Amino acid sequence: MEVYLVSWELFRQLTQGSRTKAQACPWLGAMLRRNKRWQSIQYLPRKSNVRRQRAIPVSTPFPCADSLAWGRSRQRPHSVHRLRPGDIDVVAAIGDSLVAGSGALEEFALGAIVEYRGVSWCAGGDSTWREFLTLPNILKEYNPGLRGYATGTGEWLARNARLNVAFPVTSDEVAYKKAKILVARMRASPDIDMERDWKMVTVFIGANDLCSASCLSPVAWSPAAHARKLARALDYFYDHLPRTIVNLIPVLDVSVSVRVVRPLMCRLMHSLFCTCFHRGGGELADLVHMARLYQKAEVALVESGRYDGREDFTVVVQPFMRLFNAPPAPRQPLPRCTRIISGGYKSRRSAGGRTVRPGELPSEPAKPLLHSSSQGTHNPDKMLVDSRAGLSDDVTRHSLQTSPLYRPSLGIWRECISVHIGQAGVQIGNACWELYCLEHGIQPDGQMPTDKTLGGGDDSFNTFFSETGAGKHVPRAVFVDLEPTVVDEVRTGTYRQLFHPEQLITGKEDAANNYARGHYTIGKEIVDVVLDRIRKLADQCTGLQLKVFVTNRSCSVYDAKQRKVSSSEVTSESKYITAVF
């Protein structure tokens, strides 16, 4: 512990220039006098100011100088929607190292342990905007009496940290605790009037969850879990902070760390502090996609109206962090552990009477088959392009418009019904529907708060969701298991209000991997209930085209029995695909 304290103090103080250990740490004088050789060791000074911004000369006026006169209201407004920049009296922030300013002015990677809170972009107030262009330094031009910003260097416990309570390498698990600490500091400060002062709080957290946790426990660190943890902190602010505007910064796409030039030391540190991303393998595309889902979950939380109940409080998503998002990854093939078994496909004939072979682009506007074959002159992957995407390839456009999953009258895909069978099927389905909801902006209760921004003609979500008269979106899915344990997790989970009770079907005991029990006794008892529910879902479809059965090996016998009956009774026009894990 003593060695750690010595090293920390040396790193913190030696950044100010070349000095001996005795000069850098006077409080170590007694210990250093025991060995005179220690006092002769010199440390290299900072070579340059390359990490500092170029100073803005005094001759350059403030960019918004014309607004300084009216930047502060004559009387403090009562509504957050009438705020001006000068009305902000207090700034504060919670987050990780990107808010704490770790290594902000250091030229060496090991200097990342030094927290330059005074130059933090959202909570630092060192000097002026001409030397450090930070949010507090900009607000100080409108309100010289601004309070709460940090100065100098130090940990979040230091007095000069003030209301910057960010902690390096932190996760959203501690966002709630940080919110409580921040509110307690505000109340303890004699310079802050909790009831009258307007406060701006910046929340920027979640990058470490992507870096070091999302690959280890996808459920505990899912986008929905991130939104729940973030909501706890925002709820606390909502309940305990009057006159507050919260700047919610979307989570950073951590792939930016490999899209810049990195020296060897940075590579080593990244492998330690961002293991999910820099441990090698094929996680790059997954984390890029997960970052977007985190961002969508944050936006969905704010747009849900959860924090619209007060006139003096609001949460605003600041979208600039999305500029660091990586380009979307190209479509990847299915993993080898997944086997797609296709059946029920009928050959169709074009207007000229010639049979259209799998993978071939018809010469006349017939309906090509949707299949998994890679033969032929046409790439079937292009048939899965979203109808809202821009199409520049004539072949892709023709495939989209003639696909059996496309309705020309409405410009959307036809309906798909998903049946999730067994423990693995139900667990996969529970995770998949969470992703579907996030990608379509649907809340866990089935509501879509962004309806007004989607446009009147866009209802592409109807492929997987049906909309009730009350505006609730219900998945076109059925969950089936012979014993209730796994399905009960869906019934009591975050998305329990998303599903209709009739969609969650369970028996009383499992078949214990016994063929006879699964085919003739236990499975036979509920197969009629399952088929009846599938019929109801099919009746709600105007153009049912696809049934997807997701199952595991132990339920393959029951699944085969159900597919045999379902494929013949529901509709002869629809197709089915079975995924066996």
Q: pLDDT per residue over 551-568, tens digit each?
A: 665 454 445 455 544 444
Q: Count the alpha carbons within 13 Å of 90 in the hemisphere toward its beta carbon.
A: 29
Residue 335 has a pLDDT of 45
Q: Confirm if 475 and 435 have CB atoms less than 8 A apart.
A: no
Residue 406 has a pLDDT of 39
Q: pLDDT per residue over 102-117, tens digit each?
A: 888 887 777 788 899 9
The better pLDDT of the pair 150, 350 is held by 150
Report residue 382 as tokens.
């292009």
Q: pLDDT per residue over 86-143, tens digit each?
A: 999 999 999 999 999 988 888 777 778 889 999 999 999 999 999 999 999 999 999 9
Nearest to 403 by CA among 294, 545, 278: 545
Residue 275 has a pLDDT of 75
Residue 570 has a pLDDT of 46
Q: What is the largest CA-CA distance in the chain?
A: 99
Report residue 121 as tokens.
């972009």
Residue 196 has a pLDDT of 94
Q: pLDDT per residue over 67-80, tens digit each?
A: 777 788 989 999 99
Residue 81 has a pLDDT of 92
Q: Is the pLDDT of residue 364 over 50?
A: no
Domains in the chain and their CATH numbers? Answer: 62-317 (3.40.50), 418-449+458-548 (3.40.50.1440)
Q: Confirm if 224 and 444 have CB atoms less than 8 A apart.
A: yes
- Beta-bridged to residue 95, according to DSSP, are 204
Say which residues have a Cβ less than 8 Å from residue 576's Cβ, sequence separation at least 6.
343, 344, 546, 547, 548, 549, 563, 566, 567
What average pLDDT does the segment 308-334 reach? 80
Residue 512 has a pLDDT of 64
Q: pLDDT per residue over 245-254, tens digit each?
A: 999 999 988 8
- Computed on alpha carbons and rounded to an integer, the radius of gyration of the chain in Å comes to 30
Q: Confirm if 523 and 565 have CB atoms less than 8 A apart.
A: no
Residue 351 has a pLDDT of 37
Q: Is the pLDDT of residue 40 over 80?
A: no
Residue 519 has a pLDDT of 65
Residue 459 has a pLDDT of 56
Nearest to 307 by CA among 349, 390, 248, 225: 248
Split at pLDDT 50, 70, 90, the class of 550 is: low
pTM as predicted: 0.54
Residue 401 has a pLDDT of 42
**Cα(488)–Cα(227) distance, integer angstroms:** 22
**Cα(75)–Cα(196) distance, integer angstroms:** 11
DSSP per residue, 493-560: STTTTTS-GGGEEE-SS--TT-HHIIIIIHHHHHHHHHHHHHHHHHHT-SS--EEEEEE-GGGHHHHH
Nearest to 345 by CA among 383, 373, 374, 386: 373
**Which range, of 43-47, 80-84, 302-306, averages the lowest pLDDT?**
43-47
Strand order in the sheet with 313-317: 88-95, 198-204, 244-248, 313-317
Say which residues have a Cβ less than 8 Å from residue 429's Cβ, sequence separation at least 6.
418, 420, 477, 479, 550
The better pLDDT of the pair 365, 300 is held by 300
Q: Is the pLDDT of residue 547 over 70?
A: no
**Which range, of 108-112, 192-196, 456-460, averages the lowest pLDDT?**
456-460
Grouping H, G, I as helix, E, B as strand and the rest as coil, residue 309 is coil
Distances in Å between the Cα of 523 and the Cα atoms of 298, 514, 535 are 42, 11, 18
Alpha carbon of residue 368 to chain centroid: 36
The better pLDDT of the pair 141, 356 is held by 141
Report residue 497 as tokens.
């209000």
The better pLDDT of the pair 537, 121 is held by 121
Q: Count the alpha carbons within 13 Å of 442 in the hemisphere toward its beta carbon.
A: 28
The better pLDDT of the pair 165, 208 is held by 165
Split at pLDDT 50, 70, 90, the class of 391 is: very low
Say which residues have a Cβ less than 8 Å from residue 421's Cβ, sequence separation at least 6.
480, 481, 549, 550, 551, 552, 555, 558, 559, 562
> In this structure, how many other beta carbons lie within 10 angstroms of the beta carbon of residue 536?
13
Q: Confirm if 153 and 117 have CB atoms less than 8 A apart.
A: yes
What average pLDDT does the segment 517-543 reach? 78
Q: Is the pLDDT of residue 468 over 70?
A: yes
Grouping H, G, I as helix, E, B as strand and the rest as coil, residue 389 is coil
**Cα(370)–Cα(42) distance, integer angstroms:** 71
Residue 240 has a pLDDT of 96
Q: Is the pLDDT of residue 571 over 50?
A: no
Q: Is the pLDDT of residue 362 over 80?
A: no
**Which range, of 55-69, 107-121, 443-457, 484-498, averages the lowest pLDDT?**
443-457
Strand order in the sheet with 504-506: 339-343, 575-580, 546-551, 416-421, 477-481, 504-506
> In this structure, how many other beta carbons lie within 10 angstroms of the beta carbon of residue 126?
21
Q: Confirm if 251 and 227 have CB atoms less than 8 A apart.
A: no
Q: Is the pLDDT of residue 359 over 50?
A: no
Q: What is the rounded average pLDDT for all residues in the chain?
A: 73
Amino acid identity, position 484:
P
Cβ burial 219-237 (10 Å sphere, 16+ → b, else e): eebbbbbbbebbbebbebb
Report residue 311 as tokens.
């006139």
Q: Is the pLDDT of residue 44 over 70?
A: no
In total, the chain counts a number of residues equal to: 581
Split at pLDDT 50, 70, 90, the class of 3 is: very low
- The fraction of the chain above a pLDDT of 70, given in percent, is 64
**Cα(532)–Cα(294) distance, integer angstroms:** 37
Alpha carbon of residue 264 to chain centroid: 29
What average pLDDT does the segment 155-161 reach? 91
The better pLDDT of the pair 164, 47 is held by 164
Q: Is the pLDDT of residue 56 over 80?
A: yes
Q: pLDDT per residue over 394-424, tens digit each?
A: 433 443 344 333 334 333 446 788 888 888 8
The better pLDDT of the pair 36, 187 is held by 187
**Cα(504)–Cα(492) distance, integer angstroms:** 12
**Cα(457)–Cα(469) distance, integer angstroms:** 18
Q: pLDDT per residue over 524-533, tens digit each?
A: 778 888 888 8
Q: Is the pLDDT of residue 203 over 50?
A: yes
Evaluate the CA torsion angle 289, 294, 298, 300 in order and state its sign. positive
Q: Could you tell me where the DSSP H helices lie in 213-367?
A: 223-240, 264-273, 275-278, 284-303
Split at pLDDT 50, 70, 90, the class of 278 is: low
Split at pLDDT 50, 70, 90, the class of 432 is: confident
